[in-house]
Amino acid sequence: MASTTERTVINAAGLVQGIVLVTFPAASTIFTSTSEYGLSSSQYGAMFLPQVALAITTSLLGAGLARRISTKRVYLLGLACSTVAMALLLASTLVKSNQAAAYPLLLVATAFLGAGFGLTVPVLNTYTSVFNPDSVDRSVLVLNALLGLGTALAPVLVAIFVGLGFWWGLPIVSTVLLVGLLVVSVRLPLQAGAQAGAARRAGTFLLTSVLSRPHAAAGIAVFALAGLGCSALLPLTISFGSEDLTAMAAAMAGGVIAFYQLGYGIAAFGVGPLTDSGVSLSAIFGFTAVVAGLMALLSFFVTRRPARAAMTGPGSSLPVSAPR
C-alpha cells in the first residue's frame, strides 16, 4: 500500500511538471524581444516542434521502457530530462545575444522538455491510479488539476520575476524544485502494481463560435466552461482506461498523452495558417464544436460494453449490454 509521502510526492510532481511545461510559452515576450533573444515569430513557433515530437515519441515508448527498466526509473528519467531542459534554458541566457548559439540550445531544451513531459505525466497518472484504487477518478482529477494549476502559475511567476529584473528566476526555481523531487523520489519505493461532460463541451465550443464582440462577459464564461470540459476530458479518459484496460493500463496512459500532444501540436501550428488565409476565429471554434460533438457521441459507444455476467434464466442466456 502506498504511503502518504508517496501520494504527496506524486501530486507535487504534477504541480512542478505543470510549471515546467509552460515555462517556455510563459516567457514568449522574452524570446521575441529584440533586447533579449530577438527571435522571429516563425522561429519562436518552430521552437516547440522538438517538444511535441519528443513528447509523442516518449509517451508511446514509455510503457515498454517501464517494463524494461521499471516504472520508477522512467519517472526519474522524465524528471531528469525536465531538469536538463531548465539547465539548457539557463545556459542560453549567457549567449542570448548570439542567436546562432542560443537558438540551438533552445531547440535542444524544448526537446528535453517534451521528453520529460512524455515520460513523466503518463507515469504520474499510473501511480495515482495504483495508489488510490478506491477513488481512481477523483485522484486522477486532483493530479491533473495540480498539473493545470502549475501551468497557470508559470505566467504569474514570470511576471513577478520580470518585475524584479531577472526573468530567468523561473527556470532557476523550476530546477530547484525538480532536483528536490529527484532527491526525495529516489528514496521512495514507488511501486506501480497492477490495477483493477462531453456534450456540454460541444455546446460551449458552439456558443463560443457565435458570440460577438459586445458579449465580453458571456465570452469569458463560455471560455471557462470550455476550459473546464477540456481539463476534465484528459484525466477522466485516463482513469476510465485504467479501470477498464488493466492489462495495458500503462501503455494506455502513454497513448492518451501522445495523442493529446498530437492534437496540441495540430492546434498550435494550424490556427495561424488558417487565420492568415482568411478563416475567422469564430469559424474555427465552430469547427471545434463539431469535433467535440463527435467525441461526445463516440463516448457513449466507448463506455458501453457487455455485462460481466450473462443472464442465465430460461430464454435469456445471451449477455446483455449495460452502460458503464
For residue range 98-130, list pLDDT tens digits in order.
Answer: 989 999 999 999 999 999 998 998 889 888 888
In a domain, 31, yes or no: yes
- Give the tens place of pLDDT for each residue, 173-189: 999 999 999 999 999 99
Q: What is the pLDDT of residues 47-68, one digit of tens each?
A: 888 988 898 888 888 888 888 9
Count of structural domains within the chain? 1
Q: Which grid cell is 298?
A: 463516440
Return the minimum-mean-pLDDT range out of 13-17, 41-45, 96-100, 204-208: 204-208
Residue 318 maps to a domain = no
Contact (Cβ atoms closer than 8 angstroms) between residue 322 and residue 311:
no
* Domain range for 288: 4-305
- Position 165 scores a pLDDT of 87
Residue 128 within any structural domain of the chain: yes
- Residue 298 sits in a domain whose CATH number is 1.20.1250.20
**What span, in angstroms and rounded, lies between the C-alpha atoms of 166 and 187?**
34
0.75 cut: is pTM over it?
no
- 227-274 pLDDT per residue, tens: 655 655 655 566 566 566 666 655 656 666 666 666 666 665 566 667
Q: What is the pLDDT of residue 131?
A: 87
In a domain, 182, yes or no: yes
Residue 267 lies in a domain: yes
- pLDDT at position 280 is 76
Least confident of 66-80, 212-226, 266-280: 212-226
Q: Mean pLDDT, the chain, as a whole number?
A: 77
* 163: in domain: yes
Q: Is residue 321 part of a domain?
A: no
Asked if residue 135 belongs to a domain, the reply is yes
DSSP for 18-69 reads HHHHTHHHHTHHHHH-TTTT---HHHHHHTTHHHHHHHHHHHHHHHHHHHHH
